[in-house]
Chain A
């Protein structure tokens, strides 16, 4: 967060701020949270915020709580490994029940706190049964226009922009040259990015009325740094001056749709939700044993008190795609499958899900390995596959937004992370939440068109993040990550598949068999490890 961001955040909330205070905030290790904290706790009578109004001590203590949460997750797990290794406990008991026995007789004595509590699910957004695309040109145009309209509306609340067409009409008249009227704003979708030989960036941006070139000068360090995070087909507001010939805008400020500076944090529900994805049942690298330990845990079959407590609290289980490994997803896949038949893969998956206690409500959305269309948005799994699963499973499309008794969760498999890794600096497979932060800034799950993500041109762009969810849940990259961004919880839920041949080659190291558990009251997250 740079000075301008800090300044903007306060000004937009109607406050003035002294330069010293800005410096202080900027030099803090987590300026974003600090700004939010200050705004939340500021005395309403204050007009100009100065250093004295920034209560670092109490902020740090509030931050401490957060840190502790993460510490717990880190500490909890080693402890688990030491004294509550599942294999050990079974060995001492001398009887390791095969999973099928749970199916008929759940662990006796396990009593969830929410056995008789209703855990409602309402689906807020989902493509399933709403796909209207038939593959015509105008559908593609409408798809992008819908994206533009919805994202530009968000930006329009922050800047006053004019249509691009009017810049050309106004060529040589009102605003060119005169100092006062010199600054103009436009909102455009980026259609091309180039670097000039002098190291500047030239963007070609577009709105439904026309297109225009915008120059980002390399000398404007902050601006240029911001621009380095731009990707194709995202919607951005630009403010700047036109060159004398009226053909180019020299940008001075860019406005992203981004989450609002103050995004109220959701609290108030109860119980816990377990988030996972990329199970890859049917692959020969599927980690069956840790997965079965995880199922045991859901059934409260654990000697670890802390774990048992957690398992009693669970109300929801969310799966963000790649339930099975599928067939024909990549060349030569047949050599890496343990179950060759895709329906058998789902049948097996169904058996596993039958072992999960019925009071836990399960949501499953598909990914690129699942047996639905590859083009996103993907509808839910077809009926013949849904039939393999118990009644407590709700199938949704990808992406989709669900409401879990008051907590809004957006599920997206995360195909677009591949594209973001290769086009945004600092985004990598090891820290998948960095890509999710970018999604939040774009207010779009998958802006880049024509690269690795296949799209179906639907009337509505389901990838636009309109109402901000409390949790964004992705998978796909097989690495776990938890991060807060402006009070939105971003989670990438890892995998149940060991490193594949392909991943070895491209140097991707997965973090399998780790499961984030979110407390629905505080949204604090604990990561449980099931690999040994």
Chain B
């Protein structure tokens, strides 16, 4: 840690950010000091570095200092273990009991392991207690809960190790499980696997091994509704329900990350963990049965759980699927991949920037970005033409004419993603970047410019081969590996017999009918030999390299009599017969299907309130403040008198009860605590009489009309703004927000989130370079906020110069920009009319927002990251530097998170609003990271390559499935730049893109209406794409989406609860009275016939049309009969049977 190494330019940048930050803090503190918020100062502590974040998050004083000391000599993980020990032993922090110290120690360690960003250490560990072994000794129980998921497997596993480390330090015995407890774990984890998802499910023996030997008792609070059936009511396990946190830590943590744990065990020389060796050995032997196999096999894992409307673009490794191109564009890497915008349009606009794709390799999923320097799809038009579409505009025009998509184009994946996923490099497609390097190696002083070489004529391409003995140019290389040797022979013979070569050798003509009927056209299509149909003839332009590869001479005569028999691969035959070096054009295809659609939308709770002010049931389900102000509870009661649960406060000076934070007398109020059981008032956390927790929440009558009118008067608005509140607060103290904030939010059409802030969500996509002209701003603006030179070191003066994006700068969607603009107006109004301060932003139009300070915050985390707005994009995504995403602990595989105005967070956020339930502290800015240190972000970001080309050795190494680690030193990776000024600057990319917002703006998934429409579109696309088996898609959708949905709804119908229409009370079973026992209202069912039957018709249709397996057909048929039996009266209706046959 210590001081971050930066260049002068970057130092200026960081200092400017910080000075802006402090300016805003000052304004916010001044505003809040007026006492109209729960605290008279801002509630987001700043954290310069990781140590600060850990201390602020967990709240153990002195930890930060100790961490910094450890960090000088130790790695992150070692430091985490050491700090845990220090806390447990009492070196740092002060605790009342041993248990508390241990608990804090484990939390601090986990916080450190997770960069002090995620909520896991505060929310994921419920408590730590001591249990008793059968021999009377004590052991440690760690209670994990659901949010431990956000820590990730390694940190989960290491938290157990920390527990053991701490246990030894304070002298507690290990956990000795009873036999039935071990079996309980086995049953429970397998049950959890059925109701939720596990990345890895350990075998029963593995679970037994772990539980028998783990020195810490991994316990947890119940998270699922399911109960175990076999091993129930055990003494030492408090619940029969499934403990999700425990399952995660054991399966995804200890079982999956055993090698990592072992590494630390060895380093620390801890005993009692030898069993990890057995675990690792066991796992290996089962997975390593492939023997000496080198290469990759098709993986269909990404096709699992296929959902209606999210199409498959390619089955695993199937010809016609995405052709792998290695490289990085300025908007890819870090689990984001690029495809041609033409591919996006041709594939019915399902993929747009920001759409998540589940991919076959190297990782599980990837966010998508448009890269127009890639090759687009090859399609057969209705006319019979086979054309490749690289251009976005052309793709839009010919889209209606497309009959079949023979090849879906290239996908750009960077080396770093292979490295990060530890996936062996797969053979590279033969591409220009590779060819040119081979050329350069063979020939010194290139006789041609690069541009000339990019698309050489057929003559030049062949000439170069002859002259320099280099491989055939990729633009003239066809996909010979996709056809069999027999097909090759057939094709060659056919062309020799029927082909007519034009005089200038520019055009090869084939008779259309004969070519089509003999199947030769299909072979041409599979080879991606582009052709046009004209006058009953197939016309192939620039056919010379093709003819040559076929072993034909210029008269189309065969230069061979029979194929060399010893060669089984078509590419080998081509090399042999043509006398050229012809490389494989696309040896590896990447399978993919759509995951989540992209997102760019306001964060709204449902239903969406403008203000966190409780109005109980006085305004019904609409929660309109106006209705509450006019509420009359009974004939004689006062108008606007409502009864709500609200936190009661008392003024220490004059003793007045109120719910405001500041008394009329000017004194700040404090919560008035009392014991809910004994009823006595006590200003302590615990009741002095019975020891139960005290609360300040009280059901009380408030004169809401008065409050309502006063609030409008205060901000000077007329009472014609519709403001919505909440029925009940969720926080422990039930502290309401000032109503005025809600009025102003409603005025500017903004919604609040659970913590009082206004947020906007977007899919994460990385961006390392920007141009002013694509961000909707002028270059002057860029210069104005500190950008000075472009990537080549030239002075920045034109709109179209490419510049390196600074790490904390963000590009947001236009819609987000508009929302933020309204938020600035709201903040200005708030400052002026509510706090009586000067307005701050004074922004009128979008451009005025450039340079505004923002805060980024990801779900499951509790640390915001300081950011700055730099521009806007048409795409529905949030573009930011990969480090910025990494600092929020996101990668770009389809994740999404939010931005908010920094000032909004500073003024309006309060911990007092946060829900007091599991996970309530997640997704709230509990601390703010001010300066982004690349060595403290998620390590994944260190594997990004930032070079401008990949070396020749790389392409050669891919041919032999090399492990990417072996090439680490030949690449310009972030990890090698850490600790130098270049960790922030001088990044490059290998493939450019003209427009980061190219392609369709919204995914078809979002624009299509009903699920049936989506399904139809999905299957229509499946029918078109060669690499997709439509029948398999149909079956998978039925099995993983429609059938479980119908099955589930049918079950739910027969076990459903009911609900009162009037007061929304829920009943497990319909009341015998038939009406709501609480309010007498009408009670209705919660699951309806329509919901059950919704997918029946379409399922039957699809099953029939796509001829799915008879097993699946039968399941649908039986479900249909089941529904008929349930919903049809035997006595009144005997028809309709035929309908189900």
Contacts and interface: CB of A to CB of B under 8 A. Distances in A.
Contacts of B1055: 449-451, 453-455
Interface in A253-273: none
Given A191-B1069, A506-B230, A140 B1085 contact: yes
Interface residues of A, number: 55
Nearest to A233: B1069
B1115 A137 contact: no
B690 to A, nearest CB: 10
A137 B1082 CA distance: 10
A451 B1127 CA distance: 21
A134 B1127 contact: yes
A505 B190 contact: yes
A455 B1056 CA distance: 10
Interface string B769-809: 00000000000000000000000000000000000000000
B1057 A189 contact: no
A159 interface: no
A132 interface: yes
Contacts of A371: 1118, 1121
B1054 A454 contact: yes
Given A137-B1084, A208-B1072, A456 B229 contact: no
A421 B1088 CA distance: 30
Interface stretch (A25-33, A174-182, A353-361, A373-381): A373-381
Contact of A145 (B187, B1067, B1072, B1125): B1072
Nearest to A450: B1055
A507 B231 contact: yes
A189 B1072 contact: yes
Nearest to A370: B1118
B1054 A130 contact: no
Contacts of A39: none
A502 to B, nearest CB: 10
Contacts of A209: 1073
Contact of A449 (B1043, B1069, B1074, B1126): B1069
B1070 A327 contact: no
B1047 A328 contact: yes
B1077 interface: yes
A450 B1069 contact: yes
Contact of A210 (B228, B1057, B1077, B1123): B1077
Contacts of B187: 505-507
A382 B1121 contact: yes
Interface stretch (A70-78, A86-94, A100-108, A334-342): A334-342
B1080 to A, nearest CB: 11
Contact of B1058 (A137, A208, A341, A342): A137
B230 A507 contact: yes
A210 B1073 contact: yes
A287 B1106 CA distance: 36
Interface in B204-252: 227-232, 240
A285 interface: no
Contacts of B1130: 129-132, 379
Interface in A110-155: 129-138, 140-141, 144-145, 148
Given A327-B1114, A342-B1118, A506-B230, A134 B1070 contact: no
Contacts of A135: 1053, 1085, 1088-1089, 1126-1127
B560 interface: no
Nearest to B1077: A211
B1068 A375 contact: no
Interface SS of A by simple majority: loop
Interface string B181-213: 001001100110010000000000000000000
Contacts of B1115: 327-328
A507 B187 CA distance: 9
Given A233-B1069, A450-B1068, A507-B183, A131 B1125 contact: yes
A173 interface: no
B1122 interface: yes
A145 B1074 CA distance: 9
A60 interface: no
A135 B1052 CA distance: 12
Given A135-B1089, A233-B1069, A450-B1068, A373 B1122 contact: yes
Contacts of B229: 421-422, 506-508
Contacts of A140: 1058, 1069-1070, 1085
Contacts of A148: 1072
B735 to A, nearest CB: 28
B239 to A, nearest CB: 13
> Which of B194, B231, B1068, B1125: most chain A Cβ within 10 A?
B1125
Contacts of B231: 507
B1056 A133 contact: no
B141 to A, nearest CB: 23
Interface residues of B, number: 54
A133 B1085 CA distance: 14
Given A132-B1130, A140-B1058, A327-B1111, A206 B1125 contact: no
B1070 A456 contact: no
Contacts of A422: 227, 229, 232, 240
Interface in A168-221: 189, 191-192, 206-211
Contacts of B1068: 191-192, 232, 449-450
B1131 interface: yes
| Most interface-central of B227, B1089, B1126, B1130 (chain A CB within 10 A) | B1126
Contacts of B194: 331
Contacts of B1047: 328
Nearest to B1075: A141
A144 B1069 contact: yes
Given A327-B1114, A342-B1114, A454-B1054, A207 B1072 contact: yes
Interface string B426-462: 0000000000000000000000000000000000000
B1129 A341 contact: no
Nearest to B1110: A341
Contacts of B186: 505
A374 B227 CA distance: 22
Nearest to B1129: A132
Contacts of A450: 1055-1057, 1068-1069
A456 B1126 contact: yes
Interface in A286-339: 326-328, 331, 334
A34 B194 CA distance: 49
B1070 A144 contact: yes
A137 B373 CA distance: 61
A141 B1072 contact: yes
Nearest to A140: B1070
Contacts of B1056: 450
Contacts of A210: 1073, 1077
Contacts of A453: 1055
Contacts of A449: 1055, 1068-1069
B334 to A, nearest CB: 35
Contacts of B1119: 328
A192, A326, A327 interface centre (most CB from chain B within 10 Å): A327
Contacts of A192: 1068
B695 to A, nearest CB: 16
A292 B227 CA distance: 38
A25 B228 CA distance: 39
Interface string B297-313: 00000000000000000
12 contacts: A132-B1129, A132-B1131, A134-B1129, A137-B1058, A137-B1083, A140-B1058, A343-B1114, A375-B1053, A375-B1125, A450-B1069, A454-B1054, A505-B186
Given A141-B1074, A331-B194, 19 more contacts: A133-B1126, A135-B1126, A137-B1058, A137-B1085, A140-B1058, A191-B1069, A191-B1071, A206-B1077, A208-B1072, A232-B1068, A327-B1111, A327-B1115, A328-B1047, A342-B1114, A373-B1126, A374-B1051, A453-B1055, A454-B1050, A455-B1054
Closest 3 CB pairs of A and B: A454-B1054, A507-B230, A328-B1115
